[in-house]
Structure 1
Amino acid sequence: MIRIPTLRHVATRSLRCAARGAVQQRRWAQVHDVRFLTTQPSQAILEKYREKLSKKASQEGHGSIDDLKAAYSEKIQEQRKKDSTEGTPVSQPNAPSSFPPSKPAPKKASSSGEKPAIKPLGDILDLEKVAELPEKELTAIWRLRHASSPQTLCAVIPAPAYQAMESLARSNPYFVLPVPHESQGAEMHFMQWTFDPASKTSTVLFTQLAEYKARGEFAQPHTTVTHHLDLIKDKGLVLMQGQVMEGRNVQPDHAKWLVMCLQRFYGGWEQKGDELDGQRKERAEERQKLLEWFTNGDPRFSVEKLLEEAERMG
């Protein structure tokens, strides 16, 4: 568990210095106000390549750079999702005899001739055999599949917990979360939910905020977390797998912290029907308020309040 006793102090100091404009913060201690981040394009990238983009737009018959970006937006999203699913571990040689055999990934093609953006669960496990397994054995098998690499994440999530998160994610698909660094303050990360009915998945993309601010929709996520929903009705379970990309300056422990924060802020730990005491209920309501304030651009959202809630989880 990552402890963050000095997180609020360091981050608050950074915010005050930024407000005064008197001190240039170190990169690792910098905290950005990002309430309207999702609606602003990456001007730095646009200006740098404006001439090339204009030329390409003209060559392809587009009236403007915005038209060019719109034409390629779907391909960009598909490529990001495809990158996020690379490196899925193969089955473990010492797995139990009842381990559902892995299926080779078929070379399916979409209408455009490209591979699917997200690999469905049926291409990873034999769903007929999985359906016969008790929850305890299924959980053990899923964990074994991801035990060989420290860069992978996995979980088996009860349906009510996932449904609570998805309900909030549908109306609040974007948010920011802090990752504490010992004696160095907090680094902010931008997260985005995407939903793909065709593969029965939802995916959360985590990107360093500095990367997102610099490159906008061209930014590459450092961690992806995919929820497979195939078993949610019959088994009451959702299988989650994640991948931490190497070379993106993010450690697996930091990715685990982000996933824990994701579950907390999106209500995965306070399920409907749970009897919450007064303090737990108040904290859950405060986290949901921050989520909604961020989505709506409400001035009541602040990074300091976000850090206070994150500190309570440390």
Structure 2
Amino acid sequence: MGVTGVDELRERARRELEAERIRRRAENPTLETGNGIDHAPQGNSPPAPAVKTRKDSSPIKSLDTIINLPKLLSSSPPLTQAQLGALWTAYHARKEGVLCAVVPLEMYSQLIETARRYSQFVVPLPRGVKSVEDGKEPEGGTEMFFIEWALHHCPTVPNPKVDELGLPSSQSTEQTASAGSNPPIMTLLFTPLQEYKHRQSFAAPHLALTFHTDLASTHGVALLRGEITPAQSGNGRWLLGQEEAQALVVAMQKFYLPGTGEAAKDREELLKCFHERPEEFKWERLLELSDIGIKL
């Protein structure tokens, strides 16, 4: 896909977003517009891609449907950040089609900040790479994935203690209030670019990440859970392998959590270019900065 492909993709996303806003206003006139994490700029300049809710995305599973929050919070002494991370990792260790991670709050705040500015991007996934002799370029290709960030509600800070009737004690309520508020939950969808271009909002994401922030104010972390979409054929198959899903997450991190150094600056600039100067966006540069060993 050439440079014009980026323009077409972004224009389709803009039209789709506007149509979705009109549809939602018609369905519920009292619903506030601009539900994404970015607001359209004023003036004649075209709006930047805004984070939106896709009609095909699954409802967010609350954290207390995944783990027993009351039991976890009632432990004595209270769980440390490291212990919470170990429990989260152990819980997902033997589950198929699922990824997990523990994201420090400072890192999560950086993700939110970057997603507000750049809610969409593309990342490459190596496909069918063959090993070759030393000194030769690896054989194989890449599949581009379109990624979309969405911002959701801020979960309430859970009460660490309840009485025998299941109601929070006054002391527990005070402790919860002093803990402050939680940051919003974020989700991230990975959809094959070609499928998204052809089906747009009806394209099925292959991987969906949810950053649960219920324990952010109490433990200083966001709990990441990624779910790979099962194949329609069933038989315990998935649209992505475990390693492929992990590779997509790593590719995203290289641009949304670039770190420091010259390569980090180049990745930040390419992400900015995708949104602000799409006519200058180069796919060859994307592959180089993704560091996957394959060139166009």
- TM-score bracket for the superposition, by shorter chain length: 0.5 to 0.7
Per-residue Cα deviation, 1:154-202 (whole angstroms, up to 9, x for no partner): 0001111111111111110000000012032111000000011155410
Residue number in structure 2 paired with 1:71: 23
Residue number in structure 2 paired with 1:262: 252
Q: Secondary structure at the match of 2:67?
A: coil
Residue 38 of structure 1 pairs with residue 38 of structure 2: no
**1:222, CA displacement in angstroms?**
0.7
- Cα separation, 2, equivalents of 1:162 and 1:282: 23
User: Pick from 187, 192, 210: which aligns with 2:143?
Assistant: 187
**1:129, CA displacement in angstroms?**
4.3
- Cα separation, 2, equivalents of 1:160 and 1:122: 23
Residue number in structure 1 paired with 2:39: none
Q: Secondary structure at the match of 2:245?
A: helix
- Cα separation, 2, equivalents of 1:168 and 1:157: 15
Residue number in structure 2 paired with 1:243: 227
User: Pick from 109, 113, 118: which aligns with 2:60?
Assistant: 118
**1:203, CA displacement in angstroms?**
0.2
Unpaired segments ≥5 residues, structure 1 = 1-14, 20-31, 47-65, 83-116, 271-279
- Cα separation, 2, equivalents of 1:81 and 1:215: 14
Q: Secondary structure at the match of 1:234?
A: helix
Distance 1:244 1:299, change over 3 A: same
Structure 2 letter corresponding to 1:169:
A
Residue number in structure 2 paired with 1:169: 115
Residue number in structure 2 paired with 1:293: 273
Unpaired segments ≥5 residues, structure 2 = 29-51, 130-138, 156-183, 232-237
Residue number in structure 2 paired with 1:28: none
Residue 153 of structure 1 pairs with residue 133 of structure 2: no
- Cα separation, 1, equivalents of 2:255 and 2:104: 17
Identity of aligned residues (%): 31
- Is the contact between residue 206 and residue 223 of structure 1 (CA under 8 Å) also seen in structure 2? yes
- Is the contact between residue 36 and residue 297 of structure 1 (CA under 8 Å) also seen in structure 2? no
Residue number in structure 2 paired with 1:231: 215
Residue number in structure 1 paired with 2:283: 303
CA RMSD of aligned residues (A): 3.2
Number of residues paired by the alignment? 221
Residue number in structure 1 paired with 2:197: 213
1:189-204 matched pairs, under 5 angstroms: 189-199=145-155, 200-204=184-188
Residue number in structure 1 paired with 2:44: none
Structure 2 letter corresponding to 1:40:
R
TM-score using structure 1 length: 0.62
Identify, as 1 or 2, the structure richer in helix.
1
- Is the contact between residue 6 and residue 278 of structure 2 (CA under 8 Å) also seen in structure 1? no
